[in-house]
Amino acid sequence: MSHPIKVLYTAEATAEGGRHGHARSSDGRLDLDLDVPPEMGGAGGPGTNPEQLFAAGYAACFQSALVGIAFRRKLDLTSSRLTARVSIGPVLGGGFDIATALDLEAPKLDHGEAVALMARAHERCPYSRATRGNIDVALSVGGTTIERKAG
Q: Are residues 39 and 59 in the same domain?
A: no
Query: Per residue in 99-122, pLDDT tens?
Result: 999 999 999 999 999 999 999 999
Q: Are residues 114 and 68 in the same domain?
A: yes
Q: Are residues 42 and 70 in the same domain?
A: no
Q: Are residues 66 and 44 in the same domain?
A: no
Q: Are residues 81 and 145 in the same domain?
A: yes
Q: Are residues 61 and 130 in the same domain?
A: yes
End residue of a domain, out of 13, 31, 48 = 48
Q: Are residues 21 and 60 in the same domain?
A: no
Is the pTM above the cut of 0.75? yes
Q: Are residues 54 and 29 in the same domain?
A: no
Query: Per residue in 72-96, pLDDT tens?
Result: 999 999 999 999 999 999 999 999 9
Q: What pLDDT, on a 0 to 100 scale, did the predictor assign at position 5? A: 86
Is a pLDDT exceeding 80 seen at residue 150? no
Q: Are residues 16 and 83 in the same domain?
A: no
Domain count for the chain, please give it: 2
Q: Are residues 43 and 60 in the same domain?
A: no
Please say whether the beta carbons of 138 and 151 come within 8 A.
no
For residue 149, name the pLDDT band (cuts at 50, 70, 90): low
| Domain coverage including residue 101 | 50-150
What CATH number does residue 74 fall under?
A: 3.30.300.20
Q: Are residues 79 and 124 in the same domain?
A: yes
Q: Are residues 138 and 90 in the same domain?
A: yes
